Chain A
Amino acid sequence: MNLETLMFYLLSALTVFAALRVITSRNPVHAALFLVLAFFSTAGIWMLLEAEFLALTLVLVYVGAVMVLFLFVVMMLDINLERLRVGFWKWFPFAAILAVVLLVEMVMVLGSSSTAGTNVNVAKHAADYSNTKELGRLIYTEYIYAFELAAVLLLVAIIAAIALTLRQRSGTKHQVQGDQIQVRSKDRVRIVSMPSVARPDTRK
């Protein structure tokens, strides 16, 4: 067993463990942190596949941005753990059926004749091969329409999120920076010139 295989099994075991803990840990914050760990080890596996752009983007986007906001929300929520577990057995059969369907689907995809037995060999490249450049070339030539569509979709989502949450509340006290910058000292401060008066002599 060479180092690469060892690393693969290590990272895979870590991914599976973290993924399991995401759904089994009681504390939602722990679950979110385990999801971060799962992303990390997945990025490691991608790194082993020499897909360094995807691996680093996974860390940058999902770990560095998405999960931070996720944690933010989860930490701010006042979650009552007792109430969460109410009705667990009531919904268990439904969830079990869903899980079985998902499992069957996965087995069918992975075990079907089109993918089974095919030895997926990753082409090895020289050290100066840039995965990023190749991906960029493909995205901006062959898959330009799909890429643009995805971008527009994200833009629509951004605008929709802003439109849904933007409310004008009346009666809030907030500063208008433009007005603050416009303020000049002569608008606020009046300098009065007063002649000084000699101090009355109190010694006696």
Chain B
Amino acid sequence: MEAQVLHFFQWFWDLFGLWNVVWSFVEPVWPLIWNLMKIVAIVAPLMIGVAYLTYAERKILAYMQVRVGPNRVGYYGLLQPIADGIKLLFKELIVPIRSNKLLFAFAPVMVLAPALAAWAVVPFADGMVLANINAGLLFILAMTSIGVYGVIIAGWSSNSKYAFLGAMRSAAQMVSYELPMGFALVCVLLAAQSMNLTDIVMGQQSNAGMLGWYFVPLFPMFIVYLISGVAETNRAPFDMAEGESEIVAGFHVEYSGMGFALFFLGEYANMILIAGLTSLFFLGGWLNPFHGWMLVGALTEWVPGIVWLLGKMFFVLFLFLWFRATFPRYRYDQLMRLGWKVLIPLTLVWVVVVAAWMQTPYWLWTPASVQG
């Protein structure tokens, strides 16, 4: 890939006969430029994805509730997210007088930054990854665990009771649901015998197609991860942090204009991230679900891996939206009970079950790289 891009630049500058001059300047910083280009290639589609996820959410919710949804701006309302973005951009920024100005401005950044940073280790296909590090899974856990700071700081620095209550609720919720999430991932890393995300996906490759993916042996963990993912992103039915009927809008009640938009971006970027991670850890990432299934497998072999990955992410994101349309909001004590008394014991038991199961010959999901 890198060579092709370089080749293109060489061709482009050679049109003006300037390649040698340009290259003498660019060569020392080329690795930096190349990495920046890769980052843009990840973040730009992600931002467009966020914009159209809000559109998808409004449309899908509308159809589930027998409404039409946005349909005024552009065909089928397709330009609605852009109109919303422009509206938010030009709105007045209101900063409460008694707030802590610096932290108030810093909080939205703290929500968005980890949601973007985590993408650094997410592979989109074999070898298509920004940073192929061995401790990728730990990096993901570390990044998702610091997103809570933005929420807490936003609630505290606003100097408002509703915002503070929302922040406290959401902090307790995110810390609680990180534990089952972490334990579910411990099961994945037990099965894959690696913390590298590319290795985890390749470990799910077999001739059994989708039966080789980890959602089969780790089915309870798949469900736990999905539930915790919904709770981590503060989405309905676990959107206690912004329960409109109780605390107005929770931690970001004092934010307006772009500050609010950044929280919005962070929430939806986190949703896409969780969807991507669920696909990678449990749904075989970019692997063909029909691989090795005789005729169907042979007929779908030409589909590029990234199409499968995006398809799986769409599926998980659709589940997120579906949950929101279906379930009423949990009560706070029920939420805590589900986290601490149901999900955490379940994950603890399943870690032991998987570890014991792997010692028996009935464990069929040993990664091909470890076999033999």
Contacts and interface: CB of A to CB of B under 8 A. Distances in A.
Interface in A120-148: 128-132
Interface in A56-115: 56-57, 59-60, 63-65, 68-69, 71-72, 75-76
Contacts of A174: 333
Contacts of A64: 141-142, 145-146, 148, 178
A160 B295 CA distance: 61
B134 A132 contact: yes
A33 interface: yes
A139 to B, nearest CB: 15
21 contacts: A33-B103, A53-B138, A56-B138, A56-B139, A59-B145, A60-B138, A60-B141, A63-B146, A64-B145, A64-B146, A64-B148, A64-B178, A65-B145, A65-B175, A68-B149, A71-B152, A71-B171, A72-B152, A72-B172, A132-B138, A177-B334
Q: Give the size category of A's interface with B.
A: 20 to 34
B337 interface: yes
Q: Give the size category of B's interface with A.
A: 20 to 34
A203 to B, nearest CB: 38
B187 interface: no
Contacts of A128: 134
Contact of A65 (B134, B138, B178, B337): B178
Interface of A: 29, 33, 36, 52-53, 56-57, 59-60, 63-65, 68-69, 71-72, 75-76, 128-132, 174-175, 177
Contacts of A177: 334, 337
Contact of A68 (B133, B141, B142, B175): B175
Nearest to B172: A72
A59 B148 CA distance: 13
B345 to A, nearest CB: 15
A33 B153 contact: yes
A71 B172 CA distance: 12
B171 A72 contact: yes
